[in-house]
Amino acid sequence: LALLGPAPGAPSCPHGPALLFVKTSQGKEEGRRFYACSACRDRKDCNFFQWEDEKVSETRLAAREEYNRSHQPYFTHRQNVDRYKNFVLLPVSKRKFCQECQQLLLPSEWEKHSDHQFLCDITTAQLKSPSQLLYPLENKKTNAQYLFADRSCQFLLNLLIDLGFRRVLSVGTPRLHEMIQSKASQEEEFSVRSLLLDIDFRYSQFYTEDEFCHYNMFNHHFFGGEAARETCRKFLYEANGERVIMVTDPPFGGLVEALASSFKKLMAMWRGTEKEGHANKEMPMFWIFPYFFESRILDFFPSFSMMDYQVDYDNHALYKHGKTGRRQSPVRIFTNLTPSMIVLPEEEGYRFCTVCQRYVSSGNQHCEICNSCTSKDGRRWKHCVLCKKCVKPSWFHCSNCNCCTLQKHSCEKTGIGCFVCGKAGHKRSACPSLS
C-alpha cells in the first residue's frame, strides 16, 4: 500500500477526513485508488472504505453523515468543562468516576451507572493526573497510549526549561501536558504553559478549551472546527511565536508520511505568525519515535537529527529504563535543534563527544573511520571495512549477500529486495518510492 495523502474534498469517517491510498506492486501503482480511515489501520476499529471513483448515492451519504454524528462523544467539550466545575465543588465523598464509561459522574447520574464499576472519593490530586485515572487505550495503531515514565517526563520538562521554552504544543503527550499543568498550579514562579492536542476526547473532562483540543494527528483534523484551530493558532502566535516548541509522541504503528504531513501543517500555522525571520524557519520540535524510523523521518525533515536519549514508558513491557542489550528502549528524540544544545544526564551514562558535538550513550563509541558515533541502539557497534560502515555487534559479513547480516539467515531471500520497488538494500517501510 502507498499513501497518496490527504485529498481535497475527501469523504469523512468519525475520525475526520479519510486518506487516499493505492495498492503498489514493484514500485508501480496498481489497481484503483481508495479512501480509508486516517487514524485506524485496522478495519475492526473503523471499517470506512470508499473507492476514489465511486459514485455514492444521496441515501448512503445521508446514512454516513448520521453514522458519523452518532459516533461523536455524548457531551461537547463545553459541557464537559461545565460538568468539571460542578464536580470540583462536590465533597470528596460524592466524587465518583465510572470506570466503564470513563466518565466523571455528578450525583444526578449515579442511578444511570448503578451497575457499573465506580472509583469513589476522587481527590484533587487524581483530577490533576487524568492519565493515571483514565484507562490507557493500548490499540497500537490508533491510540497506543503508552505513557512516558516519570523519569523521561521529568527529563523532557527540565530540558525544555533549560532551553528557554515557555510554551509547549503537546501533540499526543498527555503526561507531559499534565506535569506542566500541575506545576503551573502549584508553583507561582513556574512560567511554562502547555496546549494538549490529542485524539482521546476523554481529556476534555479535565481541561478547558484553552488547554485541550480534540485533534487527529494523522489528517491534521481539529474536531472542534475553526474555534479549536484558532485556539491552536493563538497559542502559537503568542510572544511573536518565540520560545514555543512542539513535542509529539505518535503511535509507533502510525504512517510516518501522514504524521509528517500534519506536523508540517502545524509548522506552517506557526510560520503564519508572519514575524520577521520565520519565513524559512522551522518551529522547534521534538518528535519521539523508535530509532529504526530514522531514515523515514529524515526523508521528510532533513534538518532533524536523532539524540541518544532512551525514552521510557510506564505501561509498556519492553520500553523500560535500565534494561541492557536488546532489551533497552528503542525510542529516541528526533529534533531540529542544534544537537550540542541537548544536554543528556551524565549520571545515566551519557557523555559529550567533542568530535560529534553531541551527547551520546556510554556504549556509543566514536568510530575513527566513519568519523561519528555510529551506534543506534546503545550497544557498541563495529566497523565493517567491506560494507564501509558500522553495523550491529551481532552481525557478520556474508560474502554471498555481500553485506552484513545476522549469522543465521538464508542467503537466497536477500535476492528479493524491497517488496515495493524490487531493489535491494532497503526494506519496504524505508522505500524511497513511498515518499
Please, what's the largest Cα pairwise distance for the chain?
74
Whole-number pLDDT of residue 327: 62
* DSSP output for 332-399: EEEESS-GGG-PPPGGGT-EEETTTTEEE-TT-PEETTTTEE--SSSSPPEEETTTTEEE-TTEEEET
| pLDDT score at 362 | 85
Q: Is 45 within 8 Å of 15 (Cβ atoms)?
A: no
- Planar angle of CA 355, 361, 364, nearest 5 degrees: 65
Cα(376)–Cα(363) distance, integer angstroms: 10
Is 91 a residue whose pLDDT tops 80? yes
Structure confidence by residue, pLDDT tens digits, 385-427:
989 999 998 899 998 888 999 988 888 554 455 655 666 666 6
- How do residues 280-339 score in pLDDT, each as one tens digit? 688 999 999 999 999 999 999 999 999 999 998 876 555 555 544 456 788 999 999 999
Domain boundaries, the chain: 2-71, 77-122, 150-362
When the candidates are 1.10.10, 2.60.40, 3.30.1490, 3.40.50, the CATH number that belongs to 150-362 is: 3.40.50
Q: Where does the pLDDT of residue 138 fall: very low under 50, low under 70, confident under 90, or very high at 90 and above?
A: low
What is the CB neighbour count within 10 angstroms for residue 398?
Answer: 15
Per-residue pLDDT for 370 more than 80? Answer: yes
Q: Residue 141 above 60 pLDDT?
A: no
**pLDDT category, 140, cuts 50, 70, 90?**
very low
pLDDT of residue 408: 84
Specify whether the CB–CB gap between 229 and 222 falls below 8 A: yes
Q: Compute the distance between CA of residue 330 and CA of residue 321 in angstroms, rounded to an integer.
A: 10
Distance CA 257, CA 74 (A): 32
Position 278 scores a pLDDT of: 58
CA distance 129 to 153: 13
What is residue 325's predicted lDDT score, i.e. its pLDDT? 46
Closest CA to 249 of 161, 156, 179: 156
Q: Beta strands 285-290 and 244-248: pairing type?
A: parallel
pTM beyond 0.85:
yes
The secondary element (H helix, E strand) that includes residue 161 is helix 150-162
Query: Nearest-CA neighbor of 283 among 309, 300, 303, 298?
Result: 303
With b for 16 or more beta-carbon neighbours within 10 A and e for fewer, the 40-58 pattern comes to bbeeeebebebeeeeeeee
**Element holding 179 (H helix, E strand):** helix 174-186
The DSSP secondary-structure symbol of 217 reads T
Angle at 200 between CA 199 and CA 201, to 5 degrees: 105
pLDDT of residue 42: 81
Residue 158 has, within 13 A of its CA and on its CB side, a CA count of: 9
Tell me the C-alpha distance between 195 and 232, whole Å: 8
Helix (H) or strand (E) holding 133: helix 130-133
pLDDT(136) > 90: no
Q: Which residues contact 31 (CB under 8 A, 6 or more apart)?
A: 22, 23
Q: Is the per-residue pLDDT at 109 higher than 80?
A: yes
Residue 45 — pLDDT band, cuts 50, 70, 90?
confident
Phi, psi of 142, deg, nearest 5: -95, -55
Is the pLDDT reported for residue 159 higher than 70? yes
pLDDT, mean over the chain = 87
Q: What percent of the chain has pLDDT over 70?
A: 87
Looking at residue 272, its pLDDT comes to 82
